[in-house]
Amino acid sequence: ATLDIKDMFFMVPLDNKDKPQFAFKWDGVQYTFNQLPQGYKHSSIIAHNAFAKLLATVKKPPGICIYQYIYDILIGGNDKECVRETAQTVWQLLTDHDMEVPPSKCQSPAQEVKFLGALWLSGAAAVPDDTLTVIEKGCLPQNKKELQQLMGTLGHWRKHVPGFSVIARPLYDLLRNKPWDWTPIHAEAIRTLKDELVINQRLGPLNPMD
């Protein structure tokens, strides 16, 4: 099961002594934030830690795990009803602290859920089919900007590509401060990365019981 908190950053109150650091002027009037602003450099870390402390108070049944990344929550376990009950407990805790959890961004207990862009199937992480299709059908880059965007996407899934850094080396070399010179070597590297991503679309533990 998954839950997603709306506007998590604005749910973290600022200490009075810290508010002057977030002061700003608008039309000659000075204001300051009362809650943690989203644009602050360390907002993600602060919000994650504050939320982790709150989730640590949840009493979980045996065999149930709660995974959190900033405002995204994944609740896993082998017992569907225990997962459901824990998700309800977490939801109640969040609402009691005036946090909004949009139903449209929640997923009920299932063998397959999407979390942090990846598809989780019975303990294994997989590249979603729609994401894989977009990558496979994508055109070859025509300039450094397009190559940089493609490498950002492929790099996100580098765990699914054995030897990613070795295969991608010619492509990263092309992004350095030198003229654009696309060759068959670069096209082959792109093709290999895509093929490996398809072959290793799903990753899971060697031992299914892990």
| Residue 79 and residue 181 in one domain | no
**What's the one-letter identity of residue 29?**
V
pLDDT of residue 177: 86
Range of the domain at 41: 2-116
- Among 116, 149, 175, the domain boundary falls at 116
| Residue 157 and residue 107 in one domain | no
In a domain, 122, yes or no: no
**What's the one-letter identity of residue 152?**
G
Q: What is the dihedral of CA 76, 161, 210, 83, to 10 degrees?
A: 10
For residue 87 the two structure tokens come to 């998700």
Q: Which pLDDT band, with edges at 50, 70 and 90, does 206 fall under? A: low
For residue 137 the two structure tokens come to 């059908």
Q: What is the pLDDT of residues 92-131, one digit of tens each?
A: 999 998 888 888 889 999 989 999 999 998 778 999 999 9
| Residue 73 and residue 102 in one domain | yes
- The number of distinct structural domains making up the chain is 2
pLDDT for residue 90 is more than 90: yes
Beta carbons within 8 Å of 201's beta carbon, 6+ residues apart: 126, 127, 132, 160
Q: Which residue has the higher pLDDT, 131 or 36?
A: 131
Q: Contact, 135 vs 197, CB < 8 A?
A: yes
- CATH number of 182's domain: 3.30.70
Q: What is the pLDDT of residues 149-185, one digit of tens each?
A: 999 999 999 999 999 999 999 999 999 988 999 999 9
pLDDT of residue 8: 75
pLDDT of residue 209: 54
Residues 139, 124: Cα–Cα separation, whole Å: 29
Burial 139-165 (b: 16+ CB within 10 A, else e): eebeeeeebeebbeebeebbebbeebe
Beta carbons within 8 Å of 53's beta carbon, 6+ residues apart: none
pLDDT of residue 36: 83
Residues 192, 11: Cα–Cα separation, whole Å: 44
| Residue 19 and residue 80 in one domain | yes
pTM summary value: 0.76
| Residue 46 and residue 94 in one domain | yes
- Residue 114: alpha-carbon gap to chain centroid: 10
Beta strands 72-76; 65-69: pairing state = antiparallel
| % of the chain exceeding 90 in pLDDT | 65
Under DSSP, is residue 143 helix (H, G, I), strand (E, B) or coil?
Answer: coil
